[in-house]
Structure 1
Amino acid sequence: MEQDVMVAGVRPDLEQVFREAYPRVVAVAARVLGSRGEAEDVAQEVFLTFGRSSVPAGEAAGWLSVAAAHTALNHLRSGRRRASREEAAVSPDAVAPDVADAVVTLEERRRVRAALATLPRKQAVALVLRHSGLSYAEVAAALDLSPGSVGTTVRRAESALRKELNRHASSD
């Protein structure tokens, strides 16, 4: 017998949607956060919310991608203070010279993520979704935009991101 009713508040199509969409949800969150572990935590949060929602299964992929980007951006924004505390706790003498390149790369990624967190929400999400491999049509559907405006939104986001990165670079 097929189950069509929610059991304990969980939608009956959750398992199928989860199996189909989990890799993309994790990829979108990882693109924002730079950590697969944190991205998997975000995916869990997103699927818990989806499981209690009434989003039609046909709209699940777009909804989940946008939710992953939003949730990851929220984690990114809330994590800035934690990162500042962690950086302050590390002694500069503890860095070995042979890891300098790795530290520079990590610092650059941190700066990009911090700049991304300052963008207007719609621009940040469009940029993340597009750079996570979604097509213009998929980004348009996920954000309820016309396909023609996706390119403009992404270009504006890239420009704002560059300005923010340049602003931080000149203040360092």
Structure 2
Amino acid sequence: MSRQAEQRDTATVPKPSAPGAVRPDLEQVFRASYPRVVAVAAKVLGCQNEAEDVAQEVFLAFGRSSVPAGAAAGWLSVAAAHTALNHIRAGRRRADREEAAGVDGLVAPDVADTVVASEDRRRVRTALARLPRRQAVALVLRHSGLSYAEVAAALDLSLGSVGTTIRRAETALREELES
């Protein structure tokens, strides 16, 4: 990269000046990208409330980042998928700890989750969390409405490999669900 291009890239990357500083473009990026971030997280989690919590985490991380505004949409979509997958894994670990401690009956289930989540959705989310991260994220992004080009840009893949990655993810997901 030439020195001029490097300086130009550095000049367009907002850097918070001090701890706790807010990016000047945060509100604009938030307003433009919030619905998509929540949609991606909801696809993974199957719960709108949890998806909104994930969106908060993602935008807090974005606010502290030096991601260029032009790359924000892809970065935010990938971050939403990763964060949502982490929530699934954390929930599974918490449930394992609670079961081991014998407190299963003491924890009241969330009524909204009980109504929204069916056994099939739980199985799919659990199977999705067991897939290789790149495959899981590609599958979630594609089924969240992103085009092949957007998935390729978000995951830094060639456009030609997106279909292969998604097809392998679907095959792996099917195998996880059958086991």
Q: TM-score, normalised by structure 1?
A: 0.82
Please show how residues 3-152 of structure 1 align to structure 2 within 5 Å: 6=16, 8-83=20-95, 85=98, 88-89=104-105, 106-152=118-164
Q: Offset at 1:82?
A: 3.8
Q: Using the TM superposition, give the Cα deviation of residue 89 of structure 1 relative to its aligned residue in structure 2, in angstroms.
A: 3.1
User: Which has the higher mean CA deviation after the structures are superposed, 61-70 or 74-83?
Assistant: 74-83
Q: 1:163 to 1:15 in 2, by over 3 A?
A: same
The answer as to whether partners of 1:18 and 1:47 remain within 8 angstroms in 2 is yes
1:65-123 deviation line (CA, Å, top 9, x unaligned): 0000000000011111445658x539xxxxxxxxxxx98x7111100000000000000
What is the aligned-residue identity percentage? 77
TM-score scaled by length of structure 2: 0.79
Q: Which residue of 1 aligns with 2:168?
A: 156
CA distance in 2, matches of 1:10, 1:113: 34
Q: By how many angstroms is 1:18 displaced?
A: 0.1
Q: Following TM superposition, by how much is the alpha carbon of 1:45 offset from its aligned partner in structure 2, in angstroms?
A: 0.2
Give 3-state SS (helix, strand or coil) of 1:117's partner.
helix
Letter in 2 for 1:125: V
- Cα shift readout 1:122-166 (whole Å, capped 9, x = no counterpart): 000000000000000000000000011000000000000000000
For the aligned residue pairs, the C-alpha RMSD in angstroms reads 2.2
Where does structure 1 lack aligned partners over 5 or more consecutive residues? 91-101, 168-172
Equivalent residue pairs, number = 152
Give the 4+ runs in structure 1 shifted more than 3 A: 4-8, 81-86
| Distance (whole Å) between structure 2 residues aligned to residue 15 and residue 58 of structure 1 | 14
In structure 2, runs of 5+ residues without a counterpart are: 1-13, 107-113
